[in-house]
Amino acid sequence: DAKTTQPNSMESNEEEPVHLPCNHSTISGTDYIHWYRQLPSQGPEYVIHGLTSNVNNRMASLAIAEDRKSSTLILHRATLRDAAVYYCIREPPGTYKYIFGTGTRLKVLA
């Protein structure tokens, strides 16, 4: 989706935090924000999702800007297994239609 943009790639050192940004400036007030990641030749894997408030789970944290025009996925301690393409996704409420962003390829350096 051209309206949901992410950096093409990012690098992080192992064991360090990673902040993956997403710009969704045209998001509607009720769209959910999801983050998935994808390994080569595999389907997307769920990471986290939210609507307005910041969210935490065992994998990551999601920080959503107050105006909801952007969000940031936070991996607290990157590991080599976190190397993947991370997608920011918006979902019109209740539709399950995922509109994928451009994706960020995360490289984790040992």
Residue with tokens 């959503």: 64
21-29, 63-71, 76-84, 97-105 -> range binding other proteins (CB under 8 A)? 97-105
Cβ atoms of residues 55 and 66 within 8 Å: no
> Site for other proteins (CB under 8 A): which residue of 42, 53, 81, 110?
42
Instruction: Identify which of residues 46 and 109 has a Cβ nearer to other proteins in the complex.
Output: 46
Nearer to other proteins, 9 or 13 (CB): 9
User: Judged by CB under 8 A, which of 45, 69, 79, 80 binds other proteins?
Assistant: 45
Give min distance, CB of 54 to other proteins, in A: 22
**97 within 8 A of 34, measured Cβ to Cβ:** no
> Least CB distance from residue 79 to other proteins, whole Å?
22
CA distance 55 to 33: 11
- For strands 104-109 and 9-13, give the pairing: parallel
State whether residue 54 is helix, strand or coil.
coil
